[in-house]
Amino acid sequence: MNIIWNKSSEQFHLYNDRISYIIGVAPCGELSNLYFGKRIHDRDDFTYVMFRMGMPNIVVDADTESYSMELNRQEYPSFGTTDFGTQAFEVETSNGSRISSFVYKDHRIYKGKHGITGLPATYAEDDEAMTLEVDLEDEVAKMSITLFYTVFEDYPVIARHASFTNTGSERAKITKALSGCLDLPDPDYEWIQFSGAWARERIPKVRKLSDGITSIESKRGVSSANQNPFVIVKRPNTDEFTGEAIGFSFVYSGNFIAMAEGNSYKRLRILMGINPDRFSWPLDAGQTFETPEVVIAMTDRGLNDLSRTYHRLYNNNLIRGKWKNEPRPILNNNWEATFMNFTEEDILKIAAKAKEAGVELFVLDDGWFGDRNDDYAGLGDWKENPEKLPQGMAGLSRKINAMGLKFGFWIEPEMVNPDSNLYRRHPDWVLSVPGRKSSLGRHQLVLDFSREEVVDHIYGMLHKVISSSSISYIKWDMNRSLTEVYSLEAAAEDQGTIYHRYVLGVYRLYSKLIEAFPDILFESCSSGGNRFDAGMLYFAPQAWCSDNTDAIDRIRIQYGSSYGYPIVSIGAHVSAVPNQQTGRTVSISTRANVAYFGTFGYELDLNKLPEEDFLEVKKQIEFMKKYRRLIQFGDFYRLRSPFETDQCAWMTVSPDRKQAIVGMYCLRSNVNTLPGFLKLAGLDENTLYRMEGREYYGDELMNMGITLDLFYKNGFTVSEDYSSFVAVIEAV
């Protein structure tokens, strides 16, 4: 990796073994993007890629040699001079002007990477990355912008964000501050977004890009189940194994926008950052605002390679602490077994059976606190209910530990029920508009986490429960979108900051709890997958993938999640049948075969299983303990898409390519058809492997494939809908 500054041409070249990212100071003084793609040789001057044309375009001034920003690629574009595309930022000065011209002033190049104040971000040691900071200045607006670029040694990735500083004496206001822009020289790309809703999250949607705007966003206060803050642009011929693609992953958990804009001159602009709708940020003299980080990854080797880049980067340079690159404990959660109707005796009985099966961690879900017997009351009163836990969380945790199990519990700290002691004492602590009715979601309101005293109060209650008990795991839930986003404490001119300050408050509470209890494994949850984003992974190294625990639906949800997020971050459990969400009945083996490819656990009362199924569970747990490091941290390959066929297949391969596990799933049976073949991936072509009692060379498995007769019986009829198999492949 390296960052070269060619002083004579005023150009930067950031590169490693796989990529080059080249920036130049344009004739007008603003920054221009000259190239991003596969690694190329450096040269003193790449100015030849800039366009100077005598067309009817507006130029900056006579000294810029007919340079028009509309015809060239910009690095961090503004609006109102000669670029008529969508801008990356907007600053309003005290006289009401929103016209900006930020020109190159200075730069710094250094080893490693700095953090972002109050925000999650990737991190790196000095030998892992190099960072470029470029200072831009607008002398009229009395404002400076610093653009940050980090190139990593081992990943084809550029991490970007920006900071704004008011260098004048009068207040200014930022009305838009995106984290990054990438202008590409042609629009011949397809756009992949990951869309859905509660219980059907992160479904890949593909569309062809052309002139005009393609965009996704969230204005829910959370990153959302509806649109994930991760998009891919790819060439039309790119598939899982070949071709060019660029990914954009936003390390943030609130409102966002991702946009592709093609213009009439064949330029394609990609933008990502905080959603400017309902956003404004006043800056007094000397104050600074920093944007979240966008992680831009590039591949010329197909979508699987792009995904593995994000998997490795986030496992090694985003997830932190004790659980970084550590296999996750196998757990049993009581939610679908008891919901809120339980006693301590009930919990201990379920936990004892879980221990008998080989489970390592027991998790107590919603209903343990306050006057909490249903969704209508208790949220915000983080004190044990003595009728359910007569000896408190401390007593229950000791009893669970005495069984040989670790213990964890559920919280939803951002919410409050109107029927709670907290709300009765502090009705002003919720997001609400004076004189207007407040909307309820799951019978609850949203606490105003933009206020430090609210965050500190919740922290105090949780700290008391955790510190008095033996806690190894916390499931942090968040079950509604934000509405009536108005802080009763903030001034009128500061209300545009509240969405972002709310997210900063969530991050602050996470940080305080992690600092106090560094060994706890946090799992983020937001009605399942409503806040499944890279920002959360910085604090909680795994996320509850979806409230939909149906194995067949989970195949699609986990498949879509794998494009941008590590397998070890995907919370996946075996639940009871008929499934709570779909009513579907799927075998205990297929339920486990899907859940293996995640954190793995059980969302049911094992006491209620038939003996045959319980014995199967014990074998499943033995299998997962033996292979979980391979599954959770191996190189993951998507082999067959459940969105394109009636089957799904994926596999994970160890870094030394001596071991692999493949999972194959039938979503719908077909009659009178040949079994067909499944081509594997990631193996060593010259190594002899053993699979299901047979031996194959790696080149056979990858080029010829394995026959799928494991699915078939009675001639040409698939055995049944929802059948599956998981096979271990080991080097002989």
Q: Is 699 a catalytic residue?
A: no
The CA distances from residue 528 to 25, 207, 640, in Å, are 45, 27, 25
H/E segment holding residue 146: strand 143-152
Cβ-based neighbour number of residue 492 at 10 Å: 7
Q: How does DSSP classify residue 81?
A: S
Label residue 278 left, alpha or beta by phi (over 0 means left) and psi (-120 to 50 means alpha).
left
Amino acid 238 reads T
C-alpha angle 143/149/151, rounded to 5°?
170
CA distance 584 to 668: 13
> Which member of 547, 550, 605, 635 is catalytic?
547
Is residue 276 helix, strand or coil? coil
The CA distances from residue 450 to 430, 484, 608, 647, in Å, are 10, 14, 45, 46
Q: Is 547 a catalytic residue?
A: yes
> Which member of 365, 477, 533, 605 is catalytic?
477
**Cβ contact 314:565 at 8 Å:** yes
Amino acid 446 reads V
First-to-last alpha carbon distance for the chain, in angstroms, is 37
Q: Are strands 415-416 and 268-274 parallel, antiparallel or unpaired?
A: unpaired
Q: What is the dihedral of CA 510, 514, 520, 523, to 10 degrees?
A: 20
CA distance 677 to 687: 20
Name beta bridge partners: 729: 660, 691
Tokens standing for residue 685: 């072509």
CA distance 169 to 93: 11
Catalytic residues: 477, 547
